[in-house]
Structure 1
C-alpha cells in the first residue's frame, strides 16, 4: 500500500533515510533530525512532500519517496523532483518502488506537470536497471553540481 505520509510516519521515514545513507556509503552525511523532517513536511509552509510504502501484511513502513516541485522554464509548468526513493532491502521486489513512482507519475499527469526527475548514483546498477525498465532515461550531457558547507558559506557570505 502506498499513501501520503502523515506526521506519525516521521520516525519511520527518518530511520529509512538513515538506512539509505548507509546504503549509499555516506551515513555521516545524513544529519537531518526528525524535528527538521517534521517541520519540512508538516510545518506552516511545507515545501517538500512524502509518500510511504507500507507492507500489506505487517503494516510496517518499508519505503518512502520524498519529493518537491520544480519548474521548467522551457515548458512553462511545474514538475516533480524526486529527492529520495528508498525501499528496505527485505521488501525489494514486492512492487513498492514501482508503486511509489507510479503514484508520483499520477500526480504529474493529474496536475499537468510535464516532468518527473531524479538523480541516481553511477554505481547503483540495480536502481539504474529498475528505472530504465520503467522507461526512464538518463540525461546525457548534464553534470550535477552542488554547493555545500564551506563553499556555500563563502559564496553566500560574499553578499548580493
Structure 2
C-alpha cells in the first residue's frame, strides 16, 4: 500500500513496510494480473480487516503431505482456485520419488510427478497437510482421472 492509501483508508503504516490488509471476496470484482475491486479505494475505509497470516495460501505451499497411514507422500506444490465461486477445489501435490514409483508400478503407469487431488480428500492442515486417504486410494483416484500438469 502506498503512503497516500494508508492515510485515505485510515490504516496505520508499519515503520519499514507497507500495511497488509485483507479484503472480503464480496468486494472483489475480478482477479487477473491485478485484483480489481468493485468500489473506489476511498470507499473501502472500514471494510478492510487486519491481515491474518494463518489464511495465506503461501503458508501451506511446500508443506509435507502425509497420507492416512502416516506416510510422507510429497509436498504441496500449488493450490487451485476457482475465482467464480472463490473455492479451492484441489491441491497440486509433488509426489516423493518412491510414491511416484509405487503408483506407476501398481496403480497408474501414466502418473506424472505432480498430481491434483480434490480438496475434499484433505483431512487437516497444520504443520503438515494430512490426507483422509492412503497412497493406494490416491492411486485409484488418479487412475480414474489422470491429470498431467506442468
TM-score band by shorter chain is under 0.3
Query: Rg larger in 1 or in 2?
Result: 2
Structure with the higher helix share, 1 or 2? 1
Structure with the higher strand share, 1 or 2? 2
TM-score, normalised to structure 2, is 0.27
TM-score, normalised to structure 1, is 0.26
